[in-house]
Chain A
Amino acid sequence: MIGYVLSRLARAAITLLVTVTLVFIFIRFSGDPAAALAPPDAPQEVIEQYRRALGLDQPLWAQYTGYLGRILQGDFGYSIHSGRPALQVFLDRLPATLYLGGTALLIALVLGLSLGAIAALNRGKPIDRAVMGFSVFAFAMPNFLFGLGMILIGSLAFQVYLGGQGAGVLAPALTLGLASMGSYARFTRSSLLETINKPFMLAAEARGIPYRRRLIRHALPNASIPLVTLVGLSVGSLIAGSVVTEQVFAWPGVGQLLVRSVATRDIATVQFLVLAIAATMITANLIVDLLYLVLDPRIRVR
């Protein structure tokens, strides 16, 4: 079991290093950041001054080792535009994103699980078909389209503006949660159906355990294993997953910051954001892997 944990940790560390390296390389080969920062008609001296300020005049390997060294000391550099630490810029935006992503996850979980369960328990009936039809729609609907549609209808038909934080989190969270709600519903349905038809459920029924208890204590925990993986992925993409939704709803979170930083070649911020996104994803995966140990005793044996 210790071997399992250690190998997962090592894998996480390697993934992180590869991410850091790739970001470092890509951002330097997608055009000169100094030239992108200066106005298009800036004279050469101005571009040179930016280059020095960014340390881009040093050889590539020196930039890379320096960068790794600073990361290890917890120094993620400064946003070139505001002069504030990249970490601080990120933390300022994080609550808005967590609020949006968390609400969306909650909506997706509650609605997805209930709809999936309803469909499973009414298998083959019209309500099952309706729920599954809806979940395919929810999964297939691009969220920028759904979000924009909602905003435009709200404004043109009802004179209500749904963008920004003033209008509340519901509209963007619904948009963001729609797709995962669809996949939760489908997974819940199939997983629950599979479990309900297992022999141990029959045995439980034979022992005279009441229906509700069989469903809640016996079927649901067993059906939840694939769902944990799915939810783990959603948690992992909590920070990066809302880029489009934030853009559409003018929601001032990390997603918007990422788009803007890439567009303005704010190197330190982009590097840190990608790092933070990768770290969240890796951590979530790690936690899911470790959760398996709890949920599935068979893994502990290996």
Chain B
Amino acid sequence: MRTTRRTLLASAAAIGTASAFRPLAALAQDARPDLVIAVDNLWETMDPVIGISTSGGRVHTNIFDTLVRRNRWEDPDGTELVPWLATSWERTSPTVWTFQLREGVKFHDGHVMDAEDVAFSISEQRLWGDEPDAPRGTRYVAGIVRVEAVGPLTVEVETERPDPSIPYRMVTPIGFVLPKHYYEEVGKDAFGQNPMGTGPYKLVSFDPSTELRAEAFDDYWNGPVPASSLTFRIVPEFSTRYAGLAAGEFDVIVNIPSDQIEQVRNTPGVRVMEKSIENYPMFAFNTLETEELPNNPLTDANLRKAMVSAIDREGIAAALWDGATFVPAPFNFPEYGDYYDEGRKARYGFDPERARELLAQSDYDGEELIWHIVRGFYPNYEVAAEFMVEQWRDIGVNVRIRIVDNFSLAYQRPFHLLNMSMSSEFSGDPYRPLWLDWGPNSSRATAAHKTWKPTERFLELGERFAAAQEFEERKAAYLDLVEEWENVTPGMYLWRNVVSYGVREDLDWDPGNDSVTVFDRLYMG
């Protein structure tokens, strides 16, 4: 697949250099820093699947390793796969992928990792059976029917249908390898409180209400480990995190509110990083006629297209983000490598004239449209919404924002527009955002808060897309599907989401375009 000879060689070389430097590193061990990372939150359990979350993701990769990894240390978007605990993988039959594992990788208790650990980590009981231990991983394991250790360092993963995305799924949280012997001994709750993996740092203590401490694991297979210890400390209030960074108490802080970025940037001894990540805030039009909304004007595609054409997304994003992010054409995301086309524009871009024409073709006669937005969930979303309401008013569309406290309130009908975000998920192609998130089984189409019914043509094209195995065929189907989505226009993408970090100026660390933080030798200079 994407494992080219170049990446294989590069990682082999990197590992070689690392071992050569090991004695040197041992000498310099005392010079390694103790890093303190001030976070807004820590998830209550560190099982990397039960605890799937932004706050957990900052910790997981420091304690655990996945089978496959994305290379973000050289390419911030990480479009290439890198062998990690799996050294290679191939399709051994149309529905079976076989992974070869790295030899001599040790868990933090010295136990050597083998195929049984991997099979256990992706097992039916843990991830994909009925009522699995970790139901939050369901989305990543869709289609898997068998996972088996067939040799000491060989694992087979079988899927219901041929699935080219399996190696890509092993970079997601289901790809983390857990120690079977230890997990079974202590159980899932205790494991979550006392996690153990093969990663660069070994847990020292974890109190979900205060902090998590981990120290360098000097038997790490891909050492040397660059910091002597990591402490993720909960500091809920931004100003307090900022004060700690300015005073030199913290090395890294997360989540700088967008209106405070300048202030942090101007603080001596501090550096700010803004990273756009693989998640896209958007809104969905409620295109359905329901009991609560009998005469929904948004059933008319012309009105939806008029509304989308009335918004100057580039202008809004530039004003709010100052270049930290960009506005994508629908499903045209840079993380999809060959599917990404820099030149492709949205079919309904900013064009107030066209917006008025489209509006005139619709039956809309000024009724108020209600937009449900969850308070503070997506940075800058509410501010952008205010701008958008004004731009709609300019063409004669009347939208009222209703801010609510959580998603279940936002899902309560009636609403005309609903805030949401779509993660792109790295599966090598736009299958997830386009087909899984908008297709016939998506929550957009099936949940109590559904907002659309896929058209016949969308379904037909989607089937064609899902079945296609060759790149050219798949890309053609993808483009047709996007065209149909834009013909319907069931929603609008705003921008690529942004996360921010404040970092001690002399700390040479860059996480790439990600909310996951890793402090190994590849990410830390």
**Residue ranges of A at the interface with B (Cβ–Cβ < 8 Å):** 30-33, 35-36, 38-46, 49-50, 79, 81-84, 89, 92-93, 148, 151-152, 154-156, 159-164, 166, 247-250, 252, 256-257, 259-260, 265
Contacts and interface: CB of A to CB of B under 8 A. Distances in A.
A83 B208 contact: no
Nearest to A254: B209
B401 interface: no
Contact of B239 (A35, A93, A152, A252): A152
Given A30-B405, A41-B423, A152 B236 contact: no
Contacts of B41: 260
A32 B239 contact: no
Contact of A247 (B189, B192, B236): B236
Interface size class of B (residues with CB under 8 A): 35 or more
A174 B143 CA distance: 58
Given A33-B408, A39-B53, A42-B443, 10 more contacts: A35-B408, A40-B421, A41-B421, A44-B443, A81-B43, A81-B208, A83-B189, A151-B240, A152-B239, A164-B244
Given A41-B422, A151-B240, A250-B236, A161 B44 contact: no
14 contacts: A30-B409, A33-B408, A36-B408, A40-B407, A45-B135, A49-B131, A82-B44, A82-B208, A155-B243, A163-B240, A163-B249, A247-B236, A250-B234, A260-B41
Nearest to B235: A250
B508 interface: no
A35 B446 contact: no
A148 to B, nearest CB: 5
Contacts of A256: 209, 234, 236
A82 B236 contact: no
B138 interface: yes
Contacts of A156: 243, 246, 267
B248 interface: yes
Contacts, number: 135
B136 interface: yes
A44 B337 CA distance: 31
Contacts of B88: none
A277 B207 CA distance: 23
A49 B53 CA distance: 18
A256 B40 CA distance: 11
Contacts of B209: 89, 92-93, 252, 256-257, 260
Interface of B: 41, 43-45, 52-53, 131, 135-136, 138-139, 188-189, 192-193, 207-210, 233-237, 239-240, 242-244, 246-249, 267, 377, 405-409, 411, 420-423, 437, 441, 443, 446-448
A233 to B, nearest CB: 27
B447 A44 contact: yes
Given A163-B243, A256-B236, A32 B408 contact: yes
A164 B208 contact: no
A176 to B, nearest CB: 15
Contacts of B443: 41-44
A40 B420 contact: yes
Contacts of B447: 43-44
Nearest to B450: A44
Contacts of B188: 83
Contacts of B407: 31, 35-36, 40
Contact of B246 (A30, A82, A84, A155): A155
A82 B243 contact: no
Contacts of A35: 407-408, 411
A252 B207 CA distance: 10
A231 B45 CA distance: 39
A30 B443 CA distance: 22
Contacts of A257: 209
Contact of A163 (B139, B235, B267, B420): B235
A251 B461 CA distance: 55
Contact of B243 (A46, A151, A260): A151
B136 A39 contact: yes
Contacts of A81: 43-45, 208
Contacts of B210: 252
Contacts of B139: 42-43
Nearest to A253: B209
A41 B420 contact: yes
